[in-house]
Amino acid sequence: MCVLRSTAFAGPASLHLPVPSLTGPASASASPVDHAAFKPAADALPAAALQGTLEIAQGRLQSSPRLVKSIIDGRDALLFPAISLALFSDGNLLVPLQRGSMVREVATKSPRSYWRVIPQTGRVWREPGDGEWSRAALPLMLVNDTENHAHQGVATFLYRDGNISALRLQFAQHTGPYLLKQHVVLWGSAALRWRTAVPGAFDAERAAARRERDEQLPVKPWAELVNQFPAGTFEGFGGPVLPQWQVLNAMVYRGTLYVQDSPTPYGPYPYPLEMRFGVRSVMKSIAAPLALLRLAETLGPYVLELRIGDYVPGLDAKFKRIRFIDAANMASGFGGLGSLVTQPNNPYAGYLEGDYDAWYTAPSTAQKLEAIRRNLKPYPWEPGTVMRYRDQDYFLLGAAIDGFLKSVRGPEADLWRMLEEEVFAPIGIRHAPAVRTRESNERDGVIWANAGYYPTVEELAKIALLLQSGGAHQGRQLLHAALTRDLLAAREALVPTVDGSRDIDAATRTAAPMLYRMGYWFPRYVSTRDGSVRHLPSMQGSGENRLTIYPNGIIALHMGKASELPAGERATSDDADATHRIVERLAPF
């Protein structure tokens, strides 16, 4: 049975979740409530200060529609995990120490939850009718360590004088499912214990959180952008993705990030800037490309010519000829599945064959490499000539870059930590949760370079702005300037449908509906102004997650959930250029 939105009007939190509903013996809810229950209203009062540790017990979740398969790899997707969060208030903000981190369940719990949790910054306040109780609410993302699926949710509880209520949870929005298979709303409750911290315990963390807020991009509501232009200018923004499969749309215009509401069946998600998304193959545009551009800046462009097989042991001999740039271009010449016809080429031939899910869900690096050895084989053509889309290429590329880093910096070097310290932190990204392989004793292994990042839209915008500026930030060159400019200009990009071992004339390249290079798609766009043709640099991931960097300085961001669609449903319209036309009208390019 589908849960319908409450007919009650949006109002103060105490209307939708009165004190007895959180403190009484039956704190569970028969259905989700309006999102107004998870944020302060205009008449909210200052809350009591809060700092300490919130111990959350495992909680049973309900789903709508009913989750057909809740046990995945022995773990239960209808269990909220038992976790511990350190929290402190700063004015009206509620700040988790573990914000932007994938918090694991307490290791001894059994049965185990399928989920990890990413907490984000929320709010504290008092409602006029709540007596001495203060309210706390924070965004929570349910994520997993075996795929890149995120449920964006919220949680709330009451507190006073060391006493605490139950925790109310609901997850009414999400990016595209894969292993879970279904689009569902989840909700439930969990028991809490609270341990108050001594005064001053979080002073350093409070100062760090304030510095993070100072580094944020200028952000304004979408309406403030719309009001700058004639009525109807932005109609269709987010297309060609159909509205029911859109999660959040945003735009960087003249240095400001404008963000739309994220609709849910229970009103707009109350903390859109705190939402973290499972962006799937958008990771292919970030981990390996940024690492290569950073290493090209610090060590030299020769890093693109290094061979995969020199840094990942036990692979087929052909990998001794496969360069980093070949894997980055999805032109490894390895995979061995699907058609051998290359002219015209089908870049997706064999993509999900060869027991793909066994490779995808294999937890450790060794098990993933064994799945590749078992199921994939060389193609007869040379590396760098024919594009065949393979997630395995990007996983191996990430592992090879990581291996190269260890060879020059020592065994503790790590691809993702290098990016966090040398690229992300300088541009104001202080948290970058992402999926890694799961090694023995629950150790984290190498980063998934093929998928697995859980960014906010603001973090994606900062990465795009860095690329747009030629890899420089505040006078400091972080990425190799010439290679960054070449990437955005699609220089040496492959035509996916053409055998690159043959001569490709300029007319064929110009007419190509899509180009590909270093994890970026370049869809063809014909200007409505003068008929000129451009191939626009775009990060794209399953579920219709897209980020496009335009030559007029605008950046368009779209988070979607268009995977595992019901039979007969379409994700997109036939108008592939809907958003491009809007952006061109704002500032011709």
What is the Cβ-side half-sphere exposure of residue 550, based on CA atoms within 13 angstroms?
24
Q: What CA–CA distance (Å, rounded) separates 155 from 188?
A: 10
The reported pTM is 0.96
Average pLDDT on 555-565 reads 96
> pLDDT at position 9, please?
41
Same structural domain for residues 188 and 289?
no
Domain range enclosing 300? 280-520
> pLDDT at position 34, please?
96
Let me know if residue 382 belongs to a domain: yes
Same structural domain for residues 345 and 483?
yes
Let me know if residue 569 belongs to a domain: no
Q: Cβ distance 278 to 149 under 8 Å? A: yes
Residue 262, pLDDT above cutoff 90: yes
350, 352, 336, 278: which is closest to 544 by C-alpha? 278
> pLDDT at position 5, please?
37
Let me know if residue 541 belongs to a domain: no
Same structural domain for residues 204 and 289?
no
Same structural domain for residues 290 and 390?
yes
| DSSP string of 275-332, one letter each residue | -----GGGGGGTHHHHHHHHHHHHT-GGGGG-BGGGTSTT--GGGGT-BHHHHHTT--
Average pLDDT on 529-540 reads 97
> pLDDT at position 27, please?
54
Question: Phi/psi of residue 482, each to 5°?
Answer: -65, -45
385, 466, 392, 481: which is closest to 425 by C-alpha? 466
CATH number, position 323 = 3.40.710.10
Last residue of a domain, one of 189, 209, 229: 209
| DSSP string of 385-422, one letter each residue | TS----HHHHHHHHHHHHHHHHHHH-TT--HHHHHIII
Same structural domain for residues 198 and 330?
no
Q: What CA–CA distance (Å, rounded) separates 126 from 7?
A: 25
Confidence band, pLDDT 50/70/90 cuts, at residue 108: confident
Last residue of a domain, one of 209, 238, 256: 209
Average pLDDT on 472-488 reads 98
- Written as six digits, the tokens of 86 are 């350190």
pLDDT in tens, 160-201: 998 999 999 999 999 999 999 999 999 999 999 999 999 999
> pLDDT at position 74, please?
92
Structural domain count of the chain = 2
pLDDT above 90 covers a percentage of the chain that reads: 92
- Written as six digits, the tokens of 510 are 């110009």
Let me know if residue 3 belongs to a domain: no
Same structural domain for residues 511 and 412?
yes
Let me know if residue 532 belongs to a domain: no
> pLDDT at position 561, please?
97
Let me know if residue 188 belongs to a domain: yes
Average pLDDT on 53-61 reads 96
Q: Cβ distance 115 to 81 under 8 Å? A: yes
Q: What CA–CA distance (Å, rounded) separates 488 from 520?
A: 9
> pLDDT at position 25, please?
66
Average pLDDT on 345-366 reads 96
Those residues whose C-beta lies under 8 Å from the C-beta of residue 307, and which sit 6 or more positions away, are: 319, 320, 321, 322, 323, 324
Same structural domain for residues 203 and 286?
no
Average pLDDT on 527-556 reads 97
Same structural domain for residues 165 and 301?
no
pLDDT in tens, 391-404: 999 999 999 999 99
> pLDDT at position 4, please?
35
Let me know if residue 567 belongs to a domain: no
Same structural domain for residues 20 and 164?
yes
Q: What CA–CA distance (Å, rounded) separates 462 from 186?
A: 31
Same structural domain for residues 25 and 170?
yes
Query: What is the rounded average pLDDT for all residues in the chain?
Result: 95
How does strand 538-541 pair with strand 545-549?
antiparallel
Average pLDDT on 381-386 reads 97
Same structural domain for residues 179 and 66?
yes
Residue 529 CB neighbours (<10 A): 11
> Given the structure tokens 């669609």, which residue do they identify?
565
Number of H helices, E strands in the chain: 14, 28
Q: Cβ distance 75 to 144 under 8 Å? A: no
Confidence band, pLDDT 50/70/90 cuts, at residue 229: very high
Residue 209, pLDDT above cutoff 80: yes
Let me know if residue 336 belongs to a domain: yes
